[in-house]
């Protein structure tokens, strides 16, 4: 392995983490490198008032593969669960952020949330929530 010639990282940006993921919802790095802001619900706190249909083309995510890391803006998570998750059959890692809400505490208290291992509305098992990521 060649030596690392870059300076050590001093700060971590949640968008930088998103850029490193296999998929991003919304995708603010459409070419994989250049940040292009998607302002819809950016920084919004989790609440029952969030739209559950904000993802314009959920079918484009139906081919998520086993082991992929999928970043979902926290305020888009209700839409992801309703619109995308029922289409996905693979086991993937879910990463989230871009909110002042705390994960997973706020998700456990959110209306309609389910305990881990209990059936969700899409007939699959609800994920076990971790500190910043969960496996579905």
Domain for residue 3, yes or no?
A: no
pLDDT of residue 33: 87
Q: Tell whether 1 is covered by a domain.
A: no
Spatial separation of the C-alpha atoms in residues 135 and 34, rounded to whole Å: 28
Model confidence at 43, pLDDT cuts 50, 70, 90, reads confident
Q: How many domains would you assign to the chain?
A: 1
What is the residue range of 76's domain?
A: 15-30+49-135
Q: What is the pLDDT of residues 97-134, one digit of tens each?
A: 766 666 665 555 544 444 444 445 444 544 444 334 33
Q: In 1-136, where do the E strands start and end?
A: 23-25, 69-73, 93-97, 128-129, 133-135
Residue 2 inside a domain? The answer is no
Average pLDDT over residues 28-43: 86
Q: Judge whether 36 lies within some domain.
A: no
Is residue 110, in this structure, part of any structural domain at all? yes
Q: Is residue 41 part of a domain?
A: no
pLDDT surpassing 60 at residue 65: yes
Q: Domain for residue 38, yes or no?
A: no
Is residue 63 domain-resident?
Answer: yes
Pick from 5-14, 48-57, 76-85, 117-126: least confident: 117-126
Torsion sign, CA atoms 29, 129, 83, 86: positive
Span 90-101, average pLDDT: 81
């Amino acid at each position: 392995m060649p030596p690392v010639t870059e300076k050590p990282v001093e700060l971590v940006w949640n968008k930088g983490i998103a850029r490193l993921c296999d998929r991003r919802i919304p995708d603010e790095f459409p070419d994989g490198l250049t940040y292009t802001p998607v302002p819809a619900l950016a920084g919004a706190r989790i609440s029952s008032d969030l739209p559950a249909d904000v993802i314009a083309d959920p079918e484009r995510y139906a081919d998520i593969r086993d082991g992929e890391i999928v970043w979902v803006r926290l305020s888009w998570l209700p839409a992801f669960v309703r619109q995308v998750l029922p289409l996905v059959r693979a086991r993937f890692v879910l990463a989230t952020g871009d909110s002042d809400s705390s994960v997973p505490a706020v998700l456990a208290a959110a209306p309609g949330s389910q305990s881990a291992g209990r059936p969700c509305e899409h007939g699959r098992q609800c994920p076990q929530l971790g500190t910043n990521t969960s496996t579905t």
